[in-house]
Amino acid sequence: MKKQTVKIKKETFDSYILIAPLLLLLAVFILYPVIANVYLSFFKWKGMGHATFIGLANYRAMLKDETFWISIKNTLVLLLYIPLGVIVPVMVSAFLREGLKGWPVFRAIIYLPNILGYVIIGMISSIIFRKIGPLNAGLTSLGLGSFALDWLSKPKLALNSLGLVYGVWIRLGFGCIFFLAAMSSIDDSLYDAAKIDGALWWRTFWNVTIPSIRFSIEFWIVLSFIEILARAFPFIYTFTRGGPGFATFTLEYGIYNAGFVAFNMGYASTWASVLFVFCAIIALFQVKLMRKNADVQ
């Protein structure tokens, strides 16, 4: 019994030794920056020179800052595009699974944003959505001149344009690959049984495909939250610069604005702390989802 206890302790110690490098990396690149950011949020610091401790003053100022609440509202509006950002790639993937003609060309078009990157796509999109840009020119040539709008100069249009491009199109290619991979694991016998029962395409899609990829859809929703909350800045910066006015000013853009425009690093850290809380909540949902998926499997 004693030998067995010693063996278990040795195996446990060996396990900790094996994961020690990973824990060290997590501590250096994740835990330390988070703690340092929260610590800095209690100081007034311009990025150079002496930092002055001001307690909760940055947090009080943030709660009174109108741009903070505008950024919250804009971020919530962008999050409303998540359902569309799920439905479109799932539907496209379902059609592609049936064998769409011209798929290689279509694949290149929808996956282009993932190849070029957010910065380049943001610059291209800003040109496309100009008042005298290709989008309005195309609408006019099709006799739809009444739909040729000043997309990036009107606040509501600019925010909704951002939601459509970033929330749907820019991630469509990766979404299709993700859901096609999920659909490839569905047993063909389920589709054969549906055909024998005389089920139409839509009923097969709803009763066979959707339940079979439910966990993939849930995971994609969680991933979409993280993408919009914490990875949209490069695209917003090159697409609208947070404008017009504060129309596309998000939490993430507010961190940049406070830190690298106003050079108030302590205040920027305050905004970053709020964003971290939101992302941490989403991450907890993701962990819970993964555990749920593991239990089912």
Residue 268 and residue 59 in contact, taking contact as beta carbons nearer than 8 Å: no
The predicted pLDDT at position 95 comes to 84
Q: What is the pLDDT of residues 48-91, one digit of tens each?
A: 888 999 999 999 999 999 999 999 999 999 999 999 999 999 99
> Residue 17 CB: number of other CB atoms within 10 A?
9
Instruction: Select from 283, 281, 279, 295 the least CA-distant residue to 215.
Output: 295
pLDDT given at position 103: 67
pLDDT in tens, 40-50: 999 999 988 88
**SS3 (DSSP) at 76:** helix
Tell whether omega for the bond before 33 is within 30 degrees of 0, i.e. cis: no
Q: What is the pTM of this model?
A: 0.88
Contacts of 68-71 spanning 24+ positions with Cβ under 8 A? 68/254, 68/271, 70/246, 70/249, 71/246, 71/249, 71/250, 71/251, 71/253, 71/254
The CA R_g of the chain, rounded to the nearest whole Å, is 24
Buried b (16+ CB within 10 A) or exposed e, 187-217: eeeebeebeeeebeeeebbeebbeebbebbb
When the candidates are 1.10.3720.10, 3.90.1310.10, 1.10.579.10, 1.20.1530.20, the CATH number that belongs to 65-295 is 1.10.3720.10
pLDDT score, position 66: 96
Beta-carbon contacts of 117 under 8 Å, excluding residues fewer than 6 positions away, are 234
Q: What are phi and psi of 279, to 5 degrees?
A: -65, -35
Total Cβ atoms within 10 A of residue 65: 17
Q: Are 96 and 176 in contact (CB under 8 A)?
A: yes
Q: Three-state SS for 150? A: coil
What's the average pLDDT block by block, 10 residues per block, for the chain (297 residues)? Answer: 57 74 85 93 91 95 97 96 95 81 71 85 94 92 89 94 93 90 90 86 90 91 92 95 95 96 95 94 83 66
Q: What is the pLDDT of residue 194?
A: 86
Q: Find tokens 């250096």 and name the residue.
A: 28
Q: Residue 33 and residue 27: Cα distance in Å, rounded?
A: 9
